Structure formats: C-alpha cells, structure tokens
Amino acid sequence: MRLSGRRVAKAVRAGVAERVAALAEAGKAVGLATILVGDDAASRVYVNSKHKAAEKAGMLSFDHHLPADATQEEVVGQIRRCNDDPDVDGMILQLPLPGDLDGHAAVEAIDPAKDADGLHPYNLGKLVLSQDAPVPATPQGIMEILRFYEVETAGRLAVVIGRSFLVGRPMALLLGAKGVDATVVLAHSRTKDLPDLARTADILVAAAGRARMVTGDWVKPGATVVDVGINRVDAEVVGDVDAESVEPVAGGLTPVPGGVGPMTVACLLRNTVAAAERSADLR
C-alpha cells in the first residue's frame, strides 16, 4: 500500500487554514519568512513551494534571498531582522548553507519562538524532555502519516537509518515517546550488519541521504517503510528506498515524491500558526 503524504497534508493544511482564519478574525495576521542563501535550484523550488502553501493557507509570506557569497554575519543579520519583525511569526532557514557558512550557528540565532523548523537547540531540548515546543517538521509529518494510516506503533520495533538532527534523532525520540511506545533503534552508515538489522523492523525509516540504499531484501514482509530521502539521479528524483523492489514486500511505503515531502511543508505551516497563536495570547 502506498502511504500518500499528499492526502494527509491536505487535511493538515485545511486545519491550518481554519486556525489562520480564526486569528484573522481576531485581528492577527500570520506571517512566515524564509531565508535562502545561494542559487541552488532544488532549494529554490522547495522554498517556492513553502510560499505557495503559506499563501493558500491565508498567511503572509516573506521571501529573503541572500547571494551565495554572503558572509556569516550577513546571514545572521537577516535572521535577527526577522526575529525583530512583528509581522513574522515563523521563520525557515533553508539548509544546508553553501560554502563554509555555519548552519548550526545560524540556526542558533533564530528566536526559538519563531522556529518553524523546530531545529533550534532550545526546542530540540524541549523535545528530549517531552515538553511543548515546535517539533521538527519532517519527523512530525512522518508521525502524522503513521497516525492517519493507523500504523500500530506500541510495542513495535522501529529502526531509523540516519542520525541527523534534522530527521533521524528527533524521529527516534518521537517514535519512542510515551503514547507512541515503539522500541527504537537508531542506525547509521557505520552500523554493523545494517541490512540484517533493517529486516527486523516493523517500522523502517530511511533517512540516510543515499539513493535507493534500502532494497527489498532489507525489509521484513509486511513492514511499514518510510522513505525520507530526496536524491537526484540523472533527471529523476528518487528516495533512499528502492521502491520497485521494496513495494512488493512492504505492508506500506511512502512514495517519492508525494510522501514525506508534502507533510514537511504542512507541518512547517502548522508550527507557524501555533507560534502566531502563542504570540496573540501574550498580547
């Protein structure tokens, strides 16, 4: 079965639009800002998709584009201007940054209250403590897909391949949280006998950034497979999962494109409207 993220994202975006409309009736507009450094074509397309989705939800949209040769100080300066802008409720810094720019330091400059990506160390720390804070958008979106398709998690073994702070680590925390109750193994490229480990998983999340790495012989029959990867191979966009060999084995598989990607955008919008609601409560 294909686990369409587009279908789930449509429902999430509808809920966001209702919340944006309610704030508008109360006199509060919701604003999302993006910061893109450089001229990477794929990043530009992704940022544009965020703006289109924000506008469809009734949000204000602010697009900040810096040249590839921007300095760290210029990037941080733009972030701080967004921090200080009362019209901006949520902010996204498109990662990775080009050249020698320090993405971690730039993310730390974001006001945690405006962190639409949920990647600020303060918010990641809140996630570790199971406290309320913006949750990283991609792992949040994956959890919504699992809930929507009623994938059983309690007592199941989940293997997450990839340990980045963008996806892998927060994904492991969410799957192991109380109420979700999966038993989680966080694996990576240095994991011994990785295919054998993957075959034990009831839920397998591939977020390693390697095109078609997970093949059908890595997958336990009937397992749910979540493909986080976005890789360009020649003119084709493919995931970290070899869909052709995995789909006949898996009980469910998120497609690429149309799986996790739409949910990431939808959850970015949800984090933004939640930030706007918190801001309105403080006024």
Enzyme catalytic residues: 50, 94, 117
- Which residue in 120, 76, 71, 73 sits closest to 98, CA to CA? 71
Number of residues that make up the chain: 283
Q: Which two tokens stand for residue 152?
A: 């059983």
Cα first-last separation, the chain = 47
- Angle formed by the axes of helices 121-128 and 168-175, nearest 10°: 30
Grouping H, G, I as helix, E, B as strand and the rest as coil, residue 122 is helix
Q: Report the distance separating Cα 229 and Cα 193, nearest Å.
A: 21
Runs of H (alpha helix) within the chain: 5-25, 41-56, 72-84, 103-108, 121-128, 137-148, 168-175, 194-198, 243-246, 260-282
Q: Which two tokens stand for residue 14?
A: 């509808």
The percent of the chain in helix, strand and coil, each rounded to the nearest 5, is 45, 15, 40
Q: Report the distance separating Cα 130 and Cα 177, nearest Å.
A: 8
Q: Report the distance separating Cα 197 and Cα 219, nearest Å.
A: 9
Grouping H, G, I as helix, E, B as strand and the rest as coil, residue 265 is helix
| Beta-carbon contacts of residue 81 (< 8 Å; ≥ 6 apart) | none
Decide the pairing of beta strands 231-233 and 236-238. Answer: antiparallel
